[in-house]
Amino acid sequence: MKTVLITGTSSGYGRETALHFHAQGWNVIATMRTPRPDILPESDRLRLVELDVTNPESITAAFEAAGPVDVLVNNAGVPSISVFEGTSTAYVREVFETNTFGVMATTQAVLAQFRERGCGVVVNVTSSVVLGHMPLSAVYKASKMAVEGFTASLALELAPFGVRAKTVQPGACLTTNFADKAMNGGSWDELVPAPYAPWAKKAMDSFTGQDLFTKESDVAETVWRAVHDTTGQLRFPAGPDAVWLAQAK
């Protein structure tokens, strides 16, 4: 029986991915900054482990607690919507600490065991923002584009050892409350300098008014497909809007 470790399983894509792998009969290590037993089913094939991907000690402890794993799904991330002119350098670093450096750190934690066994898969969840020109996402897109580049090179390094690396690119999902989380308790006025306000409102209205959206289950099913893919495909758009963007490129 195979084991998957998934980061950021307290809600959204991570939670749905944990449920999907569990339903397929896998052992699931569901990690969260603050474990909440009430949001996932009780099962001898599902364990909750505390993990803060920005904390090296937390990463070490989590992987020691998890034991050997066959698949790592790097799903933990922080959303960000802002106009870059009004974005502090401290906030940029905060986004990159989780979305980029956290992915690199957890990946590095499993590579030795994968290489030594001659098998294993790393799936890094990025975003469909990497597929098109989207406003209000300069920092977020930069953090996810970095992971795309990292994974592309990583896949080449790992291939001689029978280890695979993939990215999954979710589209826009209204039920994850991306916009509310992206504001991080701030107001629209704080995130968008006044001169940008009319344009930014138009951009947000266009985003929320689009016809195609992604469901959490789209992402979970695409992660599953990426894990089992042996064709050499690197990138997997998830959700109808992401697939449309990928095909339009």
Catalytic residue IDs: 140
Q: Looking at the DSSP assignment, which residues form a beta bridge with residue 164? A: 121
Report DSSP letters for 123-176, one per residue.
Answer: EEE--GGGTS--TT-HHHHHHHHHHHHHHHHHHHHHGGGT-EEEEEEE---GGG
Residue 58 per-residue DSSP state: H
Would you give the distance in Å from CA 67 to the centre of its chain?
22
Q: How far apart are CA 41 and CA 1, in angstroms?
A: 19
Packing angle, helices 89-96 and 138-158, rounded to 10: 30
